[in-house]
Amino acid sequence: MITYCYRLLEASAMMRVSVSSVSRSVCLLVAWSCIGWLEAAEPTTAHELRAVGAAPVLLVENGVARATILTPVKPSEVVLFAAGQLQEYLKKISGATLLIREGTASEAGRAIVLEKDDLDPLRRGLEVDSFAVKCQGNRLRLAGNTDRAVLYAAYAFLESLGAVWLEPGEEGEILPRMQTIVADALDLRFKPAFDLRGVCVYNRGTGKQTLDWMGKMRMNLALYPPPGFQKHGILQMAGTGHDFATRMGLPKDWRKDPANENYVALLKGKRATQSEHVEPCMSNPEALHRLLATSLKFIEDRPDTYIFDMRASDNVNIWCECEKCRDQTPTDIYLKYVNHLAARVHEKWPRKKVSLIAYHNTAFPLRDTSPDLSHENLVLWFAPIKRPYRQPINSVTPGEQTKMEFPLNKAVWPTTDSGWEPILLAWQKVFAGPILVLDYYHWSGLAERRSAYFYTRPSVIAADLKHYHDLGLAGSIGVEPCPSHLPNGWNHYLKAKLLWDPSQSVTDLERQYSELFYGTSAAAALRCLKAAAHVLNAEVDDAENVSKLKEVAGTFVAEVRGCEKTRTVEERLKRITLWLDYVTLRKEYFCRVREKNKEAADQAKAALVKLVESNLTQLTRYHNEIKELQALKQ
């Protein structure tokens, strides 16, 4: 094992990212963590190392390939991609090209063998991405419980050589250089803590890099991924969205036809035909038939959809108030439809899943209806969009009371200071299937304050995921921009690691990530990001906080001025500087608006618009922010 640690140190001089500044201890941390978190965890999160008597397997000698990469006959697209990734990265590391061939594991010859193996049964109807890396005779066996787990095994072996992927794109990878590659007597076994480990991939361009990085970080679920997700084994979650017309399969000008009026919810005595985000009248058989037909057509047209996202409206108190509908809570009437949809989906596509989203009004736990889990194809998507993210979900939150009500059907959740955990626990009592949490770690209450999401609370992420694991939840997916679009990708890196094993030390992971990502500027970058996050997370728009942000920015520029930097690190530091300028101007604008100082507000807005227009390429990565800024300009 120590061989791997020192192999990383010996290779550091030739890494893509300068490691002259990376301490010996950090290099050891990286190597040990890459191998599989040697400290034994509980069985559900086990990453075990067992000493074996097998001899090391020589793969490359003095830059010459001494083994082949063996795939099954007619390999799947994912396994073939795994073979290609091994070939590509081993060539980058050693200069040698290992040939890829099809065959059976019993064939003679030295080889890296890629194969599926039954390592673990389904958990709550979900596949478990367990995998193994093992030397057997003259073979290095990379076996996965799923095709994508075979890909994970390939990356885990590359990590054992010293490979690290800090963020999407080639600039985010650190690779050793070695003329000879030997797979030492390995016997590694990995099993994820969570079976659904997700990212919302917003950007359709560089989002492709995020897909590639997701595989390396063993993430397996994407909401609306860009093309190409199939070869990575990524599971697609997709649906008809929030828009009423899209969900109902109606044309954009549906309001012009009076026949469509009764499809839409009755609100305050009138059909809500002017709203895009409203619910159908779910007591109307014709409306339900249309909704069902549109949902099934969506899945049929997109056969790669794994979880059909049966979205509710992106609004509150827009459920129908007609006499039949208001006899039930929104959640109950919604679940009756989802139960029916899940049964129909099972008839046509037995392996696909349907999500039931606990969101806005449907965050109410069920009162009268039970979920139909007989087909094992329902997944609860728990989406606490109103939750404050300054504290873990199971924290007491004085002054931030949870209050939900839907007066017409007397559905009221008690007002408490105990946060959102009681609602999650109430759902667990009535829903025994897999629960996927949709977390908004970038969220900071009002839209103008969301600039805080570029550096969120690592301690909150860690505490939440450990708690979710203790509760036995199935996983988490986050509403965040792509990791390559942030001042740093630390939140995504951390979350990916903890979704696999939430017992890891956040302090150790943060130190290793920062020193590799920022080199000699790591300490200054960390101080800057944490100080800015402290100001932003306070969510106070006043002159004092604007001044604090400017002070943070000035200190950061001064501290990194004399640091030795590679081109890659220089670019990452510029991201922080630009981000600080951006969030400071945003906060200054809203501060002046709150003070009702129109002249100062206009000046701050003009400076903000100028900054964005001068740095549009870099700032368009801040997906939601740019949309809000465009609205601000108008």
Q: What share of the chain is helix, strand, coil (3-state, %, to 5)?
A: 45, 15, 35
Instruction: Return the pLDDT at 542.
Output: 86
Which has the closest alpha carbon to 305: 371, 378, 230? 230
Query: What would the 3-class secondary structure string for 5-71 be?
Result: HHHHHHHHHHCCCCCCCCCHHHHHHHHHHHHHCCCCCCHHHCEEECCCCCCCEEEEECCEECCEEEE
Residue 534 pLDDT more than 80?
yes
Q: In the structure, what pLDDT confidence band is assigned to residue 622 with cuts at 50, 70 and 90? A: low
Min mean pLDDT across 126-135, 312-321, 368-377, 619-628 is at 619-628
CATH assignment, 196-503? 3.20.20
Two structure tokens written together for 187: 């016997």
pLDDT at 616 over 60: yes
| 449 or 116, greater pLDDT | 116
Chain segment 170-219, per-residue pLDDT in tens:
989 999 999 999 998 889 999 999 999 998 776 655 678 888 999 999 99
Question: In this structure, what token pair is assigned to residue 469?
Answer: 């694991």
Greatest mean pLDDT among 327-331, 516-520, 577-581 lies in 516-520
Q: How many CA atoms lie within 13 A of 379 on its CB side?
A: 28
Tokens 């609602």 appear where?
423
Cα 416 to chain centroid, rounded: 30
Residue 175: predicted pLDDT: 97
Per-residue pLDDT at 614? 83
Q: Tell me the pLDDT tens digit for each residue of 583-611.
A: 888 889 888 988 999 999 999 989 988 88
Tokens matching residue 178: 């070695």
Residue spans of the domains in the chain: they are 2-190, 196-503, 513-633
Q: Span 350-356, mean pLDDT?
A: 96
pLDDT, residue 203, reads 60
Q: Which is more confidently placed, 400 or 317? A: 317
What pLDDT band is residue 162 in, cutting at 50, 70 and 90? Answer: very high
Does position 504 have pLDDT exceeding 80, yes or no? Answer: yes
Residue 111 CA neighbour count, 13 Å, CB half:
20
Assess whether pLDDT exceeds 90 at residue 444: no
Q: In the numeric block, which tokens belong to residue 601?
A: 């507000």
Q: Say which DSSP state 374 is in.
A: T
> What is the rounded distance in angstroms from the CA atom of residue 128 to the CA atom of residue 598?
57
Please report how many Cα atoms fall inside a 13 Å half-sphere around the Cα of residue 454, on the Cβ side: 28
Distance CA 591, CA 449 (A): 11
**Res 132: pLDDT:** 97
pLDDT, residue 365, reads 85
| pLDDT confidence band for 314 (50 / 70 / 90) | confident
In this prediction, residues 74-99 reach a mean pLDDT of 98
Long-range Cβ contact pairs of 80-84 (< 8 A, separation 24 or more): 81/151, 81/231, 81/232, 82/114, 82/142, 82/150, 82/151, 82/153, 82/154, 83/114, 83/154
Q: Which residue has the higher pLDDT, 334 or 612?
A: 334
- Is pLDDT above 80 for 301? yes
Cβ neighbors of 24 (< 8 A, separation 6 or more) are 9
CB atoms within 10 A of CB 420: 19
Tens digits of per-residue pLDDT, 58-81?
Answer: 999 999 999 999 999 999 999 999
User: Is 545 a residue whose pLDDT tops 50?
Assistant: yes
Distance CA 509, CA 420 (A): 28
- Classify residue 74 as left (phi > 0), alpha (psi -120 to 50) or beta: left
**How far is CA 322 from its chain centroid?**
39
2-190 topology per CATH: Chitobiase; domain 2 (3.30.379)
Mean pLDDT of 339-351: 97
Token pair 């650190």 is found at 174
Q: Which amino acid is at 12?
A: S
- Alpha-carbon distance of 589 to 554, in angstroms, equals 20
User: If DSSP codes are grouped into helix, strand and coil, which group holds residue 580?
Assistant: helix
Among 10-14, 345-349, 461-465, 530-534, which stretch is predicted with the lowest mean pLDDT?
10-14
Cα angle, residue 231 at apex, residues 301 and 17 outer, rounded to 5°: 135
Which helix (DSSP H) or strand (DSSP E) does residue 68 occupy? strand 68-71
What's at 134, amino acid-wise?
K
Which one, of 109, 115, 162, lies nearest residue 134 by Cα?
A: 115
- pLDDT tens profile 15-53: 333 333 333 334 434 443 444 333 333 333 334 434 445
Report field, pTM of the whole predicted structure over 0.85: yes
Confidence of residue 106 (pLDDT cuts 50, 70, 90): confident
Write the CA distances from 287 to 102, 259, 310, integer angstroms. 52, 11, 15
Least confident of 40-54, 98-112, 480-494, 575-589: 40-54
pLDDT at residue 38, rounded to an integer: 33
Which strands, in side-by-side order, build the sheet including 139-144? 47-49, 187-190, 131-136, 139-144, 111-116, 68-71, 100-102
d(CA 136, CA 372): 46
Q: Would you place residue 8 in the very low, low, confident or very high pLDDT band (cuts 50, 70, 90)?
A: very low
pLDDT at 229 over 80: yes
pLDDT band of residue 467 (cuts 50, 70, 90) is very high
DSSP 399-419: T--EEEEEGGGTEEEEEESST
HEC secondary structure over 454-494: HCCCHHHHHHHHHHHHHHCCCEEEECCCCHHHCCCCHHHHH
As a whole number, the mean pLDDT across the chain is 84
Average pLDDT, integer, range 614-624 = 65
2-190 matches 196-503 in fold: no
Above pLDDT 90, what percent of the chain?
A: 59
pLDDT at 631: 62
Check pLDDT > 70 for residue 386.
yes
**Which percentage of the chain shows pLDDT scores above 70?**
82
Predicted local distance difference test score (pLDDT) of residue 582? 83
Q: Which distant-in-sequence residues (6+ apart) come within 8 Å of 616 by Cβ?
A: none
Which one is predicted more confidently, 491 or 288?
Answer: 288
